[in-house]
């Protein structure tokens, strides 16, 4: 019989789609107030995988990721999604988003994204938020699923998350050995 064990802390990653770079400084500040120091902001690239956001956001958004230094309890994903939803509303113009924030948690095993949209492969986490295993780490690389968003399926993004996984594992080991001493 299995017994309950605490979860390993995970790396908090926020995927950002934005058409207003002038808001980034205040966005980063608001996120840092809540989640601590930002470890990495990836270079923005045009989001050309779909035009789904173009009309609402007033053009082709840029995609980048914000990675936080502090490891978090994975159960915080619901609260993070609720907070980032609030930021999306705060930065909206005429009820249209200028930023789209997709928080996720990166572990040794996978990348899980939070969403408000239910689908057959998503698990209810609480407060109207669902979790989706977007990428699975197997065979020494991140693997995608049929439902994985096109940009997350890309070789560039899977390589990015593999590098972040390596950094995460080093940090987890250091923090775990530090607490054991």
Residue 22: domain span = 10-180
CA 49 to chain centre: 18
The C-alpha atoms of residue 132 and residue 115 are separated, in whole angstroms, by 8
Beta bridge partners of residue 54, listed in sequence order: none
CA 1 to chain centre: 34
pLDDT in tens, 29-45: 999 999 999 999 999 99
The tokens describing 60, both together, are 């082709």
Residues contacting 53, CB < 8 A, separation 6+:
17, 47, 61, 97, 100
The C-alpha atoms of residue 48 and residue 60 are separated, in whole angstroms, by 7
Flag whether 2 is in a domain.
no
Flag whether 71 is in a domain.
yes
pLDDT band at 19 (very low <50, low <70, confident <90, very high): very high
- What total of structural domains would you count in the chain? 1
* Percent of the chain scoring above 90 in pLDDT: 96
The tokens describing 51, both together, are 């035009």
Flag whether 3 is in a domain.
no
Model pLDDT, residue 181: 52
Flag whether 1 is in a domain.
no
pLDDT in tens, 75-88: 999 999 999 999 99
pLDDT at 179 over 70: no
pLDDT at 143 over 70: yes
Flag whether 5 is in a domain.
no
pLDDT band at 180 (very low <50, low <70, confident <90, very high): low
pLDDT band at 1 (very low <50, low <70, confident <90, very high): confident
Flag whether 109 is in a domain.
yes
Model pLDDT, residue 112: 98
Strands 129-138 and 123-126: antiparallel
pLDDT in tens, 44-77: 999 999 999 999 999 999 999 999 999 999 999 9
Backbone angles phi, psi at 78, to 5 degrees: -60, -50
Task: Output the pTM of the full model.
Answer: 0.95
pLDDT in tens, 82-110: 999 999 999 999 999 999 999 999 999 99
First to last CA, the chain: 30
The DSSP result for the chain, as a single string, is: -----PPPPEEEEEEEEES-GGGHHHHHHHHHHHH--EEEEPPPEE--S-STTHHHHTSPPEEEEEEEEEEE-GGGHHHHHHHHHHHHHHT-BTTB-SEEEEEEEE-SSEEEEEES---TT-EEEETTEEEEEEEEEETTEEE--TTS-HHHHSHHHHHHHHHHHHHHHHHHHHHHHHHH-
User: Which of 113, 78, 84 is CA-nearest to residue 100?
Assistant: 84
Flag whether 97 is in a domain.
yes
């Amino acid at each position: 019989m299995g017994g309950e064990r605490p979860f390993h802390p995970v790396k908090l990653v926020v995927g950002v789609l934005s058409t207003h770079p002038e808001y980034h400084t205040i966005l980063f500040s608001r996120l840092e107030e809540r989640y601590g120091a930002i470890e990495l902001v990836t270079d923005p690239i045009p989001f050309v995988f779909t035009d789904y956001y173009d009309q609402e956001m007033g053009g082709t958004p840029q995609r980048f990721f914000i990675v936080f230094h502090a490891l978090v309890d994975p159960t915080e994903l619901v609260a993070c999604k609720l907070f980032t939803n609030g930021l999306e509303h705060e930065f909206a113009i005429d009820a249209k988003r200028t930023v789209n924030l997709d928080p996720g948690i990166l572990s040794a095993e996978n990348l899980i994204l939070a969403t408000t949209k239910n689908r057959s492969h998503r698990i209810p986490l609480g407060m109207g938020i669902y979790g989706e295993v977007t990428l699975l780490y197997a065979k020494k690389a991140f693997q995608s699923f049929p439902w994985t968003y096109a940009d997350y399926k890309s070789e560039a993004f899977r390589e990015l998350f593999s590098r972040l996984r390596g950094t995460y594992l080093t940090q987890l080991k250091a923090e775990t050995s530090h607490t054991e001493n």
